[in-house]
């Protein structure tokens, strides 16, 4: 058996640099317009990689909302935002187990517009682009996912690859994978011919 | 590693392709037959007889195939002859199973070398792949044939097949302290199974898929003895598949129905992969542990994995050079 360290190719360095730059900038808290900021800083940050400040948006199926819950503003438009961390009277079905000691709802959901999420930078992102939000912390996974390596792949190996949002497989409130019942074990070898088949 | 060698190509243009005398695994010097070559070529005997036996193609066809180069594999027959044969097969299966069956004869795509990667750090041993494979590839339900075998291993012992348990059956997987290593055909670059086949019934295609022509297999099972991975399976009895469960989308070298007494194995879902689709096991895997693609495409998943992740191949010391890589994404 062989264990081999992978080599990094230039093309990939470029790709990584792009996502890395986007992520770094995304984390720059208090940056009011990260898009513009990214455009300004990208050339410096990524030197020769000719970084494009905005990554290509990926086609994904609709986010897996619970029935009838979206748009959130249907209810929330009438409720003034309360930014205090507290036990909620609503949404009791959500049991947050995702670094819950450090974070709560409004770290990802946007208080001013409940129909979108927001990055650490304050930039708002649609639910269909929620992978950018997840990618802020899970940068390595995000990189692998964009390369088609993390996560389930459907479609064509030489054409359009099917991507899923992180939330299609991981419950964002409890992202740990649940165990599954396995399919039946194979039959042990037996004298299959003894039945006179 | 993946140098192209002359070898049999499916759907190739007849005599010219691959040069004469390059047949099933001929790249390894086993050269079953060729221009004036002796040895195993003699065993294969009179080409027209074989063609009659195998294909029931008429005398005209067999004359056409008996070229100056010497005998040719059935699968290297001119396209139109092949199509005629396949149309007959389609008719036969359609009648037998009561649904419209399509048998493809798609050949390897130029510039494509298939490879597969499986993430050992993700696989949870749920066996979804095993049964997706059975459904896709028309494996016999009774007696049971599974092309994929999922081994449960102890984390303490590492990848060690002497302690592997394929019969694990807990209520939930993954089980604490265990990991899972599914094994199917490793599609070796230098496949020992091909070397030992006395009839040239199995060979490596140009895109790297090791295939079997079930009409040429005599069931000697030499290939099963030669395979270090236990990837080949024998039809000890007439395979049974309910017509309702038959997958009618077939490939001549892949999932068309087998008969008693022939060997079968994974073909990277040749009927899907040569259409550009992912194999069935890749699509069904709930944790996304299975990856597939073209080694020659620098932007493919498979290249990304080989270049960025820790990878291993099974029984590397045997120098079979598998195209099936195991890796750790984390």
Contact assessment for residue A35 and residue A53, using Cβ atoms and an 8 Å cutoff: yes
Residues B53-62 have a mean pLDDT of 41
pLDDT of residue A155: 84
Under DSSP, the state recorded for A4 is: B
Range of weakest confidence among A6-20, A87-101, B188-202? A6-20
State the pLDDT confidence band at A154, using cuts at 50, 70 and 90.
Answer: confident
pLDDT beyond 80 at B47: no
Query: For residues B319 and A78, what is the distance between their CA atoms, to the nearest angstrom?
Result: 69
pLDDT of residue A171: 93
Query: A60-114 pLDDT, tens per residue?
Result: 888 999 888 889 999 899 888 899 988 888 898 899 999 999 999 999 999 999 9
Is A183–B130 a contact, with Cβ atoms under 8 angstroms apart?
A: yes
Query: For residues A149 and B256, what is the distance between their CA atoms, to the nearest angstrom?
Result: 31
Contact assessment for residue B152 and residue B168, using Cβ atoms and an 8 Å cutoff: yes
Residue with tokens 């016999």: B140
Share of chain B above pLDDT 70, in %: 77
- Reading the block at residue A16, the tokens are 């990584």
Query: For residues A16 and B143, what is the distance between their CA atoms, to the nearest angstrom?
Result: 50
Query: For residues B321 and B295, what is the distance between their CA atoms, to the nearest angstrom?
Result: 14
Is A197–B313 a contact, with Cβ atoms under 8 angstroms apart?
A: no
**Choice between A52 and B97, residue whose per-residue pLDDT is larger:** B97
- Reading the block at residue A152, the tokens are 């389930």
Task: Give this prediction's pTM.
Answer: 0.76
pLDDT beyond 60 at A28: no
A14: closest CA of chain B, how far (Å): 13
A10 interface with B at CB cutoff 8 Å: no
- The pairing of strands B233-234 and B202-204 is unpaired
A-B contacts at Cβ under 8 angstroms: 139
Cβ neighbours of residue B18 closer than 8 Å, sequence gap 6 or more: B6, B7, B8, B9, B12, B26, B76
Is A4–B310 a contact, with Cβ atoms under 8 angstroms apart?
A: yes
Q: B212 forms bridges with which residues in the sheet?
A: B202
* Chain A CA closest to residue B116: A157
pLDDT of residue A189: 85
pLDDT of residue B30: 34
pLDDT beyond 90 at B257: yes
Under DSSP, the state recorded for B113 is: -
pLDDT beyond 50 at A13: no
Angstrom CA distances, A185 to B130, B131, B205, stand at 10, 10, 32
Query: For residues A45 and A63, what is the distance between their CA atoms, to the nearest angstrom?
Result: 33
Question: Of B328, B293, B229, B268, whose CA–CA distance to B129 is shortest?
Answer: B268
Is B172–A180 a contact, with Cβ atoms under 8 angstroms apart?
A: yes
**ipTM value:** 0.76
């Amino acid at each position: 058996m062989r264990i081999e360290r992978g080599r990094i190719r230039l093309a990939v360095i470029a790709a990584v640099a792009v996502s890395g730059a986007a992520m770094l900038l995304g984390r720059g808290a208090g940056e009011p317009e990260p898009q513009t900021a990214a455009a300004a800083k990208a050339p410096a940050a990524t030197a020769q990689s000719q970084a494009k400040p905005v990554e290509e948006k990926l086609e994904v199926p609709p986010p897996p909302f619970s029935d009838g819950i979206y748009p959130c503003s249907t209810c929330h438009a009438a409720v003034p935002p309360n930014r205090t961390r507290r036990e909620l009277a609503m949404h009791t079905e959500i049991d947050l187990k995702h670094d819950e000691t450090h974070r709560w709802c409004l770290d990802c959901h946007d208080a001013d517009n409940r129909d979108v999420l927001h990055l650490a930078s304050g930039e708002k992102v649609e639910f269909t682009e929620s992978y950018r939000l997840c990618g802020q912390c899970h940068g390595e996974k995000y990189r692998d996912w964009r390369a088609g390596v993390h996560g389930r792949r459907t479609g064509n190996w030489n054409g359009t690859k099917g991507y899923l949002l992180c939330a299609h497989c991981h419950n964002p409130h409890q992202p740990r994978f649940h165990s599954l019942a396995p399919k039946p074990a194979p039959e042990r070898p037996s004298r299959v011919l003894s039945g006179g088949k | 590693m993946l140098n192209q060698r002359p070898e049999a190509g499916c759907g190739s243009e007849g005599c010219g392709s691959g040069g004469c005398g390059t047949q099933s695994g001929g790249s390894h010097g086993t050269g079953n037959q060729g221009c004036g070559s002796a040895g195993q070529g003699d065993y294969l005997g009179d080409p027209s007889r074989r063609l009659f036996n195998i294909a029931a193609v008429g005398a005209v066809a067999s004359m056409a195939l008996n070229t100056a180069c010497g005998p040719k594999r059935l699968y290297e027959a001119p396209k139109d002859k092949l199509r005629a044969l396949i149309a007959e097969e389609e008719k036969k299966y359609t009648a037998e199973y009561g649904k419209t069956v399509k048998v493809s004869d798609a050949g390897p795509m130029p510039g494509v070398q298939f490879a597969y990667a499986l993430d050992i750090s993700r696989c949870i041993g749920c066996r979804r792949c095993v049964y997706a494979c059975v459904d896709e590839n028309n494996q016999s339900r009774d007696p049971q044939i599974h092309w994929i075998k999922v081994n449960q291993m102890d984390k303490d012992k590492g990848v060690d097949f002497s302690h592997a348990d394929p019969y694990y059956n807990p209520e939930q997987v993954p089980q604490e302290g265990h990991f899972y290593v599914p094994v199917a055909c490793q599609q070796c670059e230098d496949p020992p199974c091909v070397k030992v086949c006395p009839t040239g019934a199995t060979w490596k295609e140009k895109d790297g898929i090791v295939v079997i022509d079930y009409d040429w297999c005599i069931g000697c099972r030499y290939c099963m003895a030669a395979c270090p991975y236990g990837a080949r399976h024998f039809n000890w009895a007439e395979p049974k598949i309910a017509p309702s469960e038959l997958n009618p989308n077939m490939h001549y070298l892949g999932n068309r129905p087998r008969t008693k007494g022939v060997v079968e194995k994974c073909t990277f879902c040749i009927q899907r992969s040569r259409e550009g689709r992912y194999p069935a096991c890749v699509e069904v895997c709930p944790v996304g542990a299975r990856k597939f693609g073209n080694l020659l495409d620098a932007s493919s998943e498979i290249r990304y994995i080989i270049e960025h992740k820790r990878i291993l191949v099974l029984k590397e010391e045997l120098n079979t050079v598998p195209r099936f890589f195991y890796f750790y994404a984390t």
